[in-house]
Amino acid sequence: MNQSTNFALFVVEAVLYFTLLTTLLHFRHRIGLGVFLTALGVMHFVETYLAAVFYVDLPIGIVSPGSSIFFAGKLVMILMLYIKEDAATVRQPIYGLFIGNAVTLIIAQLLLLHHTVSLTPGQTADVAFLREMGLLMLWGTALLYIDSLAIILLYERIGRLFPGPTIGRVAASSVLVLTFDQVGFYGLLAYLYDAPAAVFWGGWKAKMVAALLYSAMFALYQAFFRDPGMVLARRPIRDIFTDLTFRERYEDLLARTGRDVLTGAFDRGRMEIEAPRLLRESTERRKALSVVIVDVDHFKAVNDRFGHLHGDSVLREVADELHRGTRTGDLLFRYGGEEFVVVLPEANHADALLISERMRQEIAAGIRDHGGEPITVSIGVATAPEDGANFTSLLAAADNRLYRAKNAGRNRTEGRPDSGI
């Protein structure tokens, strides 16, 4: 019964901590970022105190809420701040906590030099505990600094290696960093208090539960609440955070540049930059790359019958279906008029044909004009290196196959003659 109650309280404490801190983070542009940062910072001493002396029995083992809930939560909050703002902003709590804890440690050591008096009989300062807390603060501060940098860098590296939902990157980076933190912090606990191995395993399991719980709550927050926006830092400082900030802003600017306003796809100018780069990278890695040209059938007739506004709506729907049909890492471009180009890195000809045919079928099944007739597309597919060593050659080969599809009756996908489609 005690274990069940303790675990329920464990979850409630985590939910409460996340809810309160996330609320301050969400409204930072109204109440000021300092409110969030101050609330985050004042918890550190009590986190360290609880990690040293306050343990409870859970079904997963012996656990300190200070370490598994509040410290783990603080790391997730630092990562959330990085995601919501930028590296220039997130360095503020990281450096602030590091410097503040160092000052606390220095003052605590000076306090130990005092000759204390007792206000009442039996009430004396616990000097031994203050010394131990000094070591815990020193070690905890060093771990905090390393953990904070590591969770951000891991989040970035995981995103590059395995692009995907933010929730997966938050969970993976949290699990890895909190595992490292548990090893480091338990080492000092074992040195100071001869903490048994059960404390390590219980604490590690609790941190894994906390990491997944915080990641799930972050996913819910992302799903239900829109962020007020990003505030840019004013003063560049040459450190790791400046480099991260520069890269973030450059990539954000690049992502917003070269977009077709109507469909949201990249435009032709962006294609002439990105497609050759992707082909060059694929060639260096000796991987296939396919180029797909998609043309909306009888689009002029749609415009003539129902007007250009409906024609624009059809193009947006086609672009949406093409987006849904692509994989992570594929790029969609509006080539011109009613034509689109999809670049499929690491897709051989057979895979590209299957992807293209699936997109063609989804468009025919899901999009209708105002008269109720299905909107269809014709598709041509070419693949490097067999169909060309440069992007211009690939595009020409795909274009020839597109016209073959149109001449054969439209609403079809054409590849090489031996492709089977």
What is the second-level CATH architecture of the domain 262-419?
Answer: 2-Layer Sandwich (3.30)
pLDDT confidence of residue 367: 93
Q: Region 111-116: what's the mean pLDDT?
A: 78
Using one digit for the tens of pLDDT, what is the confidence trace for 238-259?
455 555 555 555 555 555 567 8
| CB contact at 8 A, 139 and 184 | yes
Determine the pLDDT at residue 130.
65
Q: Which amino acid is at 58?
A: L
| pLDDT tens profile 68-84 | 898 889 888 988 888 87
Using pLDDT thresholds of 50, 70 and 90, give the confidence band for residue 234.
very low
DSSP string, 78-132: HHHHHHHS-HHHHHHHHHHHHHHHHHHHHHHHHHTTS----SSTT----HHHHHH
- Is the pLDDT at 374 greater than 90? The verdict is yes
Lowest mean pLDDT among 16-20, 51-55, 380-384, 401-405: 51-55
Dihedral of CA 321/327/328/330: which sign? negative
Q: Where are the domains of the chain?
A: 2-114+124-249, 262-419
Between 67-71, 140-144, 195-199, the lowest mean confidence (pLDDT) is in 140-144
* Phi then psi dihedrals of residue 295, to 5 deg: -125, 130
State residue 32's pLDDT score.
Answer: 83
Stretch (H or E) spanning 157 = helix 127-161
Whether residue 362 contacts residue 341, with contact meaning beta carbons closer than 8 Å, is answered with no
Distance, CA of 115 to CA of 111 (rounded, Å): 9
Task: Provide the whole-model pTM.
Answer: 0.53
| Res. 340: pLDDT tops 70 | yes
Residue 400: pLDDT over 90: yes
Count of Cβ atoms closer than 10 Å to residue 146 Cβ: 14
Residue 90 CA to residue 88 CA, distance in Å, equals 6
Mean pLDDT of the chain: 83
Tokens for 414, please give them.
């054409």
